[in-house]
Structure formats: C-alpha cells, structure tokens
Amino acid sequence: MQFLGYTRGGARITEQSFVNELKSDVSGGEHGPVADFQFLGEIHRIELELAQYDESVLAVLETRVNAGVTRSKGMLLGCAGAQFRMVLISTNFARNYTKSFLVDPIDRAPVGISATFPRIHFTCLEDPANVAGTNGALVNGSPWNQAITISGSTLS
C-alpha cells in the first residue's frame, strides 16, 4: 500500500447497477410492461480531485497497471493482477476497493506556475473473493469491503 494523497472536496462515488428486465405472460409477454428485474451486479466509478499528492505514486497510476506487471496491448488487466487496491478513508467513512482500474484519462488540469489538482477516475469491479457463500450474501455490507484495520499510521 502506498499513500496517494488528500482529495479536494472528498471522493465522488457513482454506484451503477446492471439489471435485466424480466417479462411475463401475465403482463403481456415481450410486448408488455416489466414484471420484475434481475440484478446482475454493479460497478462503482470514483472521481478524485487531488489537493496534495505524492508525484511518484501518481506516476505509477499513470502506467495504468499495478507495480510488477508488464503492460501489453490486449492483456486482461484483472487476470494479470494489474488492478489497484484503493482504500478511501474519511472521518466517518471507509471503503476498501480491491479491484480498481484506471480506464479513463487522468486529467492533470492546468499545468504551470499555479497549483495543479489532478483528477483521477477509477472504475471498481466487484471482487468475487469478497462475496460470502453461494447465495451472494455480501461481506461487511458491500462486495468491495474487506476488513480495514487502522492503527496509528498502519493500514491493513
């Protein structure tokens, strides 16, 4: 784990679910209204605007793959272990994303004499390792949360 920095105004999290519409004969079949929805999972998109940050950690993020992984065209980032782990911590909020990817551009904003506030957009997928049992019951209320222990300056 490396410390990236502090955000300007907090992290913005957009939770997007995916569903299938289910039709039934009772409601008119394929041409009738929806009778139910089937939940297929979700992704979270996270936007960070950095106020203070470590330039060397940002440089690693700009490679789009986690340290120790060689980037090549056509690779599957998740299968290659190129995803990032991202822990967001605030005074009243903590979330642990274990499958985070940088698929959007990193916006360095105006670069020059004045302060620069880079914007980074992560796309986070559900981590099957964090889903308990065969019924899809979630661990710690979210498939992204593993236990987070904070002790002084140590995070695990």
Band (pLDDT 50/70/90 cuts) for residue 94 is confident
Residue 121 has a CB neighbour count (10 Å cut-off) of 17
Give the C-alpha separation, 150 to 1, whole Å: 13
pLDDT tens for 20-46 read 999 988 888 888 899 999 988 888 999
pLDDT per residue as tens digits for the range 52-68:
989 888 888 888 888 77
> Looking at per-residue confidence, does 129 or 93 come out higher?
93
Q: Residues 63-87: what's their mean pLDDT?
A: 85
pLDDT of residue 121: 92
pLDDT tens profile 109-128? 776 666 688 899 999 988 76
More confident residue, 134 or 65: 65
151, 97 contact by CB (below 8 A):
no
Which domain, by its residues, includes 87?
Answer: 5-155
* Residue keyed to tokens 């139910």: 36
Overall average pLDDT of the 73-83 stretch: 86
d(CA 57, CA 64): 12
Structure tokens at 70: 């060689």
Q: What total of structural domains would you count in the chain? A: 1
User: Backbone dihedral region of 29: left (phi > 0), alpha (psi from -120 to 50 degrees) or beta?
Assistant: left
The pair of three-digit structure tokens given for residue 148, joined into one six-digit string: 């987070």
CA atoms 35, 39, 44, 45: torsion sign: negative
Q: What is the pLDDT of residue 154?
A: 55
From CA 109, how far away is CA 95, in angstroms rounded? 27
Average pLDDT, the chain: 80
User: What pLDDT does 140 receive?
Assistant: 44
Cβ atoms of 96 and 141 within 8 Å: the answer is: no
Structure confidence at residue 139 as a pLDDT band (50, 70, 90): very low
Q: Check pLDDT > 60 for residue 69.
A: yes
What is the value of pTM for the model shown? Answer: 0.75
Q: Distance (Å, rounded) from C-alpha 66 to C-alpha 132? A: 26
Classify residue 28 as left (phi > 0), alpha (psi -120 to 50) or beta: left
